[in-house]
Amino acid sequence: MARITLSNLAHSYFADPKGEADYALKQMDHVWEDGGAYALLGSSGCGKTTLLNIISGLVRPSQGRVLFGDRDVTDAATSDRNIAQVFQFPVVYDTMTVRDNLAFPLRNRGMDPAYVASRVNQIARMIGMEAELGRKARGLTADAKQKISLGRGMVREDVNAILFDEPLTVIDPHMKWELRTQLKSLHREFGHTMIYVTHDQTEALTFADRVVVMYDGRVVQIGTPQDLFDTPEHTFVGYFIGSPGMNLLEARVEGNRATVAGVSVPLSADYGVPRGRVQIGIRPEFVSLTAAEGLPVTIRRIEDVGRHRIVRADFNGTGINAVLGEGTALSPDMTRLVFAPERIGVYADDWRVSPQGRQPGRAA
Amino acid sequence: MDKTPNQKAWFLVLPVLVLVAFSAVIPLMTVVNYSVQDTFGDNEFFWAGLEWFEEMLGSDRLWNALGRQVMFSAIVLAIQVPLGIFIALNMPKKGFWASVCLVLMSLPLLIPFNVVGTIWQIFGRVDIGLLGHTLAALGLDYNYTNDAFDAWATIIVMDVWHWTSLIALLCYAGLQSIPQAYYQAAKIDQASRWKVFRYIELPKMRGVLLIAVLLRFMDSFMIYTEPFVVTGGGPGNATTFLSIDLVKMAVGQFDLGPAAAFSIMYFLVILLVSWVFYTVMTNLDKEEVR
Amino acid sequence: MTGRRQNDGAGAMTLELHGVTKLVAGRTHIHPTDLTLERGTMNVLLGPTLSGKTTLMRLMAGLDVPSAGRVRWNGTDVTGMRVQDRKVAMVYQQFINYPSMSVYDNIASPLRLMGKSEAEIDRAVRKTSDMMKLTPLLSRKPLELSGGQQQRCALARALVKDAGLVLLDEPLANLDYKLREELRAEIPKIFEESGAIFVYATTEPEEALLLGGQTATLWEGRVTQFGPTPQVYRHPADATTARVFSDPPMNFVPCVKKGHRVSFGDHANAPADGPFAALADGRYMAGFRANHLSLNAHSGASVVFPCKVAVTEITGSESFLHLVHGADRWVGLVPGVHDLAPGTEVSVWLDPAHVYVFAKDGALVAPAAYALAA
């Protein structure tokens, strides 16, 4: 197990990158703690896979260093990094039995057979495949094969990190619950450093202690799921986390008051007068419908999603979503929206503005 | 997924059935016809029953030719299959050199069979051939027209030269279809080169390898043109394989009856061996799933 | 929901399945199924992988012929009719486009096959591409587009030919989460404009709810229930439907009603009100959804379960609690952040008004009281 340090790291797939736009991964400095569960979250093309490949050793970064603990592994081959990886599609050795699949990484390292046998049994119990140990891997379902891949990833106790590359892509929704919980318990039990790449916010948020949100080759925020939900540092985080994402409205902000298309919206603190393109952001969960006050809107559609309803409203051509609880009353005269003031975030040029006009640097 | 039953589709197969009937089934039936009759010319035929078959089965000629044929196929497969796999494993996976390799590999496959025979016939001659002359210059007593071993060696080397590419190309295609993640996983698991081959590459190549071996077996078992051009079946009968013997019998001696019986048995042997081979391989496949 | 009526007479009024059955090599893939789909409706087929969604769609399209039963189209029997002779369009999970043609030609291709005039084709392509937001991309090749745009192109091709029946087989499954969210919000709007019968297969309950319309739940080749989506969600006919239509999975606990009390499992006991009031004494199975479990007492929550935490997952605004209650494993979804260590003993509260009562054979005996009010 090891702490992972990314120092001054950047990568371009061009031999001779001209400007920042040529970099698939913009310069970054991060330290990921030993034993942490990290998720790299972003849409396709954001650089998360490039970053994973740099950590696994498949890609050598064009600049910067990668450290596992105190050891510089930038130039080390994948096999020398002592990592484990679980891929998007199950990678199993078809002609081997489930037992041999699980034992493979241990036997290759010449471990004591008695230890291998007991460790394999322990892992098989954890992934719930004790009964299938003697079966060939070939005839198993995709779910079962992916469990074997997970198990093979866990089987070594001394790995520096376990990397997961969208491992639940081929899994049925009901099975996802089971595998995710297993992964979580395995992390609790063994305390490996885990890095999980995904575009699915639910997977990222539920798996990770810290979620690394990536956008356009840059890490825009690292935080706990709660940080990302409550205080997104960048409008992309607001949009990407939450379903539907944060509502963003062009606004003029002066002190503790925002003006949106002529309508005044109270804020909970003094933001001064931020410069640049100013927007206010509010999560649909903190928007409520009233008949009397607030932003006048047209209600486009109400979607019943079971445990809550999504109200899709239109304000001067901008869509605003509100999420209402299952029991919340709704009547046709409720055509105004009110935002909870303490939940409103103010953004200048896409980055979050702190109250009293302090503008923090870009989130690291 | 099953398809909609639609009987009209059979009409579309009809032209092919007619073609096959005229090109394969009817000629085959004439052979069957000859095999059970005798003639003294003038288009007069006598019913011979299974006489020719009995005669052929009782003669050493057929058994000797069959023995030589089995040995030839076995040696050729034993060399070409591992060699083809080895070449496929070492070919560049992409880029300029991959294309160059592919072109070079396909060249021997594009040369007509009798030309291959002629090339090696000349190549191996001690007086003017590069190979034969070089070997003689090295002090080796090489002469494929006199020495049975030299004749065999020449024909086998020629067949390896001609056909190993086929196995290599098929295996190469099989290897190309293995996702990169498998190699990455193997590195992470610290699998040795041998284990990567044994547990990833070989299982993934299995399907194409099965086809390749079957093709090579059938082809080598029916080989005619190349040895005929190079050695003409000699020295003596040393390289007289089944098909050469058959032609000698049918065209050279005009023994149509025995030749017909011979060719039917020859056909049945190939059919039987191919069927056994195919069934065994696919059954092994099923066993493994269980 | 009803879509705009069309007057060209090309679209079907209804698609009816009567006792449609599919056997493959002696195994039943689809049990006898009766379904009537009306024009201008969105019909969701919801079920896990291999539950028969794709097979049922193929039977509807005419790609497969049923082993028994009839398919009626607009009142006419079309059971044996080939797919080419029906007005059907299909979109698959993979983005299937002609790679060598531009987006414009891709969308135009079904119309060209029908031999429409170029002017007509142009009009239809423009209209559909506007609807699918593809107009600026018409001259591009499909492989130059993002996954979402490629699937829009495939959808446009399905919509352009004015098919009476449009079948969508997990069309969003291969897309990024956020793209999926966006397209999912657009699809109901599109179908409202087109007036065809839409059939949409998905494995995700949330997707079915977002699409609205009607939902047929499938389990092992059987349609367990068919009706308006929120109705099926809140009034599942049996435990199987409830399980298929819950994500996280519905929680179950055996219960016994005796006189004025109900006991749940081994440890919980409550007055027999809510759905239990009118029930005969006996053994039942209680089912409730994750979001109805609560970590604190609130009015109405009269049942308390002692549970042990297996794992907690935090989404930022809510927490999923994976709980062990006796032999049962449950999932609770509670607001706020609760980072409970595994093994922690917690009490979870439940309002009997949120409980569905099922008989031993799985049939619904009493719906949850809250659902009657909703």
Q: Tell me, yes or no, if C173 comes closer than 8 A to chain A by beta carbon.
A: no
CB contact under 8 A, C314 and A206: yes
Ramachandran angles phi, psi of B173, nearest 5°: -60, -40
B177 close to A (CB below 8 A):
no
**DSSP code at position C203:** S
More confident residue, C364 or C84: C364
Statement to judge: residues C140 and C31 lie in one domain = yes
pLDDT tens for each residue of C341-362: 888 999 999 988 889 999 988 8
C192 versus A260: the higher-pLDDT residue is A260
Q: How confident is the model at residue A357 (pLDDT cuts 50, 70, 90)?
A: very low
Tokens of C141: 């090749």
Nearest to A147 by CA among A118, A117, A173, A183: A183
C20 and C90 assigned to the same domain: yes
CB contact under 8 A, C82 and B4: yes
Contact B155/B220 with Cβ under 8 angstroms? no
Hey, which chains touch A, using 3+ CB pairs under 8 Å?
Answer: B, C
DSSP A286: G
Q: Is the pLDDT of residue B234 over 80?
A: no
Q: According to the model, what pLDDT value does residue A1 have?
A: 64
Which chain B residues contact residue A154 at CB under 8 A?
A: none
Min Cα distance C80 → chain A (Å) is 34
Same domain, C326 and C348: yes
Predicted pLDDT of residue B99: 87
A93/B contact by beta carbon, under 8 A? yes
- A88 contacts B199? CB cut-off 8 A: no
Alpha carbons A223 and A225: distance in angstroms, whole number: 6
User: What confidence tens digit (pLDDT) does each residue in C36-50 have?
Assistant: 998 888 999 999 888
The pLDDT of residue C7: 39
Q: Enumerate neighbours of B (3 or more CB pairs within 8 A).
A: A, C
Q: Which residue has the tokens 């609130």?
A: C298
Asked if B156 and B72 touch (Cβ cutoff 8 Å), the reply is yes
- pLDDT tens for each residue of A202-242: 889 888 889 999 998 899 999 999 999 999 999 999 999 98
Q: What is the mean pLDDT of residues C288-304?
A: 86
Instruction: Please name the residues in contact with C20: beta carbons below 8 A apart, sequence gap of 6 or more.
Output: C30, C32, C33, C34, C35, C59, C66, C68, C69, C70, C71
Which of C166, C174, C218, C245 minimizes the C-alpha distance to C49? C218
| C residues 215-244 closer than 8 Å to A (CB) | 229-230, 233
Q: Span A115-139, mean pLDDT?
A: 89
CA dist., res. B272 & res. C1, Å (int)? 66
Smallest Cα distance from B84 to chain A, Å: 22
pLDDT value of residue A170:
76
Query: Which residue among A88, A94, A108 sits closest to B190, beta carbon to beta carbon?
Result: A108
Cβ-Cβ contacts under 8 Å, A78 against chain B: 184, 187-188
Q: Chain A residues with CB inside 8 Å of C229's CB?
A: 304
Structure-block tokens of residue B100:
């160059």
User: Chain A: residue nearest C320 by CA?
Assistant: A206
Contact yes or no for A181 and C310 at CB 8 A: yes
Q: Does A185 touch chain B (CB under 8 A)?
A: no
pLDDT at B5 (0 to 100) = 56
Chain B residues within an 8 Å CB radius of C62: 4
Q: Are residues C41 and C27 in the same domain?
A: yes
Model pLDDT, residue B290 = 45
Q: Say yes or no for a CB contact (<8 Å) between C64 and B1.
A: yes
A356 touches chain B (CB under 8 A): no
Q: Please state, in angstroms and rounded to a whole number, the distance separating the CA atoms of residues C322 and C338.
A: 12
CB distance A307–C203 less than 8 Å? no
Contacts of C178 in chain A (CB under 8 A): 43, 199, 239-240, 245
- Complex ipTM value: 0.79
**Residue C239 and residue C93 share a domain:** yes
Q: What is the pLDDT of residues A27-83, one digit of tens each?
A: 999 999 999 999 999 988 788 888 999 999 988 999 999 999 899 999 998 888 889
- Is C177 at the interface with chain A, CB within 8 A? yes
Q: Cα separation of A8 and A31, whole Å?
A: 11
Q: Give Dmax over CA atoms of chain A in angstroms.
A: 75
- Within 8 A of C27 by CB-CB distance, chain B residues are none
Q: Do residues C276 and C159 share a domain?
A: no
* Chain B residues with CB within 8 Å of chain C CB: 1-6
Q: Do B199 and A96 touch (CB under 8 A)?
A: yes
CA–CA separation, A68 and A71 (whole Å)? 5
Q: Is residue C1 part of a domain?
A: no
Q: Domain boundary residue among C243, C268, C284?
A: C243
Tell me the pLDDT band of B164, cut-offs 50, 70 and 90.
very high
Q: Are residues C219 and C269 in the same domain?
A: no
User: In degrees, to the nearest 5, what angle opens at C-alpha A152 toward C-alphas A148 and A155?
Assistant: 130
Does A97 contact B at CB distance below 8 Å? no
Weakest mean pLDDT among A78-87, B5-14, B202-211, C180-189: B5-14
- Domain assignment present for residue C139? The answer is yes
Residue C7 domain-assigned (yes or no): no
The edge-to-edge listing of strands for the beta sheet with C165-169 is C88-91, C165-169, C197-202, C42-46, C214-219, C222-228
Share of chain A above pLDDT 90, in %: 47
Which two structure tokens, joined as six digits, stand for B215? 């093709």
Instruction: Please list, in sequence order, all residues whose beta carbon lies within 8 angstroms of the beta carbon of residue A81, skipping any fewer than 6 positions away.
Output: A56, A57, A68, A73, A160
Q: What is the mean pLDDT of chain A?
A: 88
Closest C-alpha among A207, A241, A178 to residue A37: A207
C273 in any annotated domain: yes
Q: Are residues C169 and C229 in the same domain?
A: yes
- Smallest CA–CA distance, residue B3 to chain C, in Å, is 6
Peptide bond into A284 cis (omega under 30): no
Which residues of chain B have a CB within 8 Å of the CB of C65? 4-5
Among C243, C278, C304, residue at a domain's last position = C243
B288: pLDDT strictly greater than 60: no
- Which DSSP letter does residue A246 get? -
CA distance A41 to chain B (A): 21
CB contact under 8 A, C65 and B4: yes
Instruction: State the distance between the two ends of chain B, measured CA to CA, in whole angstroms.
Output: 22
Q: What distance in Å separates the CA atoms of residue A186 and residue A204, rounded to the nearest whole number?
A: 16
Q: What angle do CA A323, C238, C45 make, to 5 degrees?
A: 60
Helix (H/G/I), strand (E/B), else coil: C186? helix
What's the predicted TM-score (pTM) here?
Answer: 0.79
Which pLDDT band, with edges at 50, 70 and 90, does B285 fall under? low
Instruction: Find chain A residues with C-beta within 8 A of B183's C-beta.
Output: none
Q: Where is C371: in which H helix or E strand?
A: helix C369-373
B-facing residues of A in 49-88 (CB < 8 A) are 56, 58, 77-79, 83-85, 87-88
Alpha carbons A120 and A154: distance in angstroms, whole number: 10
- Separate counts of helices (H) and strands (E) for chain A: 8, 23
Our count of domains for chain C comes to: 2
Q: A358 pLDDT exceeds 60? A: no
Examine the domain organization and report whether C258 and C359 are in the same domain: yes
Q: How far apart are CA A119 and CA A127, in angstroms?
A: 12
Both C75 and C206 in a single domain?
yes
Label residue C1 by pLDDT band (50, 70, 90).
very low
Q: Is residue C237 part of a domain?
A: yes
CATH number at residue C351: 2.40.50.140
Could you tell me if residue C352 is inside a domain?
Answer: yes
Q: Cβ(C28)–Cβ(C51) under 8 Å? A: no
Of A77, A87, A96, nearest to B185 by CB-CB distance is A87
What pLDDT, in 10s, does the model give residues C246-287?
A: 988 899 999 998 888 888 887 788 888 778 888 889 999 999
Q: Is the pLDDT of residue C218 over 50?
A: yes
- Of B169, B154, B151, nearest to B209 by C-alpha is B169
Rounded CA gap, C57 and A97, in Å? Answer: 37
C107-145 pLDDT, tens digit per residue, is 999 888 888 889 989 998 998 888 888 888 898 888 888
Set out the domains of chain B in order of their start, with CATH numbers: 60-289 (1.10.3720.10)
- The residue type of A273 is V
Of A172, A180, A205, the CB nearest to C316: A205
Host domain of residue C57: 14-243
What is the percent of chain B with per-residue pLDDT over 70, rounded to a whole number?
Answer: 92
Mean confidence (pLDDT) of chain C: 86
Chain A positions contacting chain C at CB under 8 Å are 43-44, 172-174, 177, 180-181, 184-185, 188, 199-202, 205-207, 224-230, 239-245, 283, 285, 301, 303-307, 310, 312, 326-327
Pairing of the two strands C318-325 and C364-366: unpaired
Q: Is residue C153 part of a domain?
A: yes
Among chain B residues, the shortest Cα distance to C61 is held by B4
Given a cut of 80, whether residue B50 has pLDDT beyond it is: no
As a whole number of angstroms, the distance between CA A221 and CA A213 comes to: 5
| Pairwise CB contact (< 8 Å): A304 & C212 | yes
B54 Cβ partners below 8 Å, 6+ apart?
A: none
**For residue B161, pLDDT beyond 70:** yes
Q: Nearest CA of chain C to the CA of A310: how many Å?
A: 9
Residue of chain B with shortest Cα separation from A165: B181
Asked whether the predicted pLDDT for residue B149 surpasses 50, the reply is yes
The runs of H, that is alpha helices, within C75-146 are: 103-113, 118-131
Same domain, C238 and C95: yes
Determine whether the interchain pair B4/C64 forms a contact, defined as Cβ–Cβ distance below 8 Å: yes
Q: Which chain B residues contact residue C82 at CB under 8 A? A: 4, 6
CA neighbor of B40 nearest in space, from B192, B185, B255: B255
Go through the domains of chain A in sequence order and give each one's CATH number: 4-230 (3.40.50.300), 247-357 (2.40.50.140)
**Which among C214, C243, C272 is the end of a domain?**
C243
For A239-281, how does the pLDDT look when each residue is reduced to its tens digit (9 = 90+)?
Answer: 999 888 999 999 999 989 999 988 999 999 999 899 899 999 9
User: Which of the residue ranges A137-141, A197-201, B121-125, C335-339 has the most confident prediction, judged by mean pLDDT?
Assistant: A197-201
Distances (CA, A) of B64 to A97, B143, C122: 46, 23, 76
- Assess if residue C315 is contained within a domain: yes
What tokens appear for B199 in the block? 């547990």
Query: Nearest-CA neighbor of A220 among A239, A202, A207?
Result: A239
Choosing among A78, A102, A135, which should be mutated to test the B contact, i.e. which has the most B CBs within 10 A?
A78
Same domain, residue pair C197 and C274: no
Residues of C in contact with B2 (CB under 8 A): 24, 64
